[in-house]
Amino acid sequence: MNKSYPKEFRDDVVRAAKMRDPGVTLEQAALEYGIDPATLSDWLHEAGQGECADPINLRDELVKANRRVQLLEEENEVLRKAAAYLFGANLAETNVS
């Protein structure tokens, strides 16, 4: 059964959740106000914050993205070297004939 919360309460909780310390999870913030974490997530989404409201999730996503960028750069370098090698080998074969 859904509880109906006053708009002022919702606004206060959303404001507090936006300003929470980086070590405080969305779940902890919700439990502090006696509401379900999914409810707080919905309220943040409605307020335009969505999943980005949790700084820990943002940090995790940034770390994953940086790892992915590093891997792609390494793969690109390997392919660049392989292409240079093959291009050089191809030139050597055409000059021999």
State the Cα–Cα distance between residues 33 and 30, nearest whole angstrom. Answer: 5
Q: At what angle do helices 37-46 and 7-18 cross, to 10 degrees?
A: 90
User: Any residues with CB less than 8 A from the CB of 64 and at least 6 apart, and which?
Assistant: none
The residue assigned the tokens 């109906």 is 4
- The count of residues in the chain is 97
Domain 1-53 - what CATH class?
mainly alpha
Q: What is the pLDDT of residue 62?
A: 86
Domain limits, the chain: 1-53, 54-97
What string of pLDDT tens digits covers the 97 residues of the chain? 457 889 999 989 998 888 888 888 889 989 999 999 999 989 988 887 554 545 667 777 888 899 999 999 999 999 999 999 998 877 767 765 5
**Would you say the pTM of this structure is higher than 0.85?**
no
Q: What is the pLDDT of residue 1?
A: 43
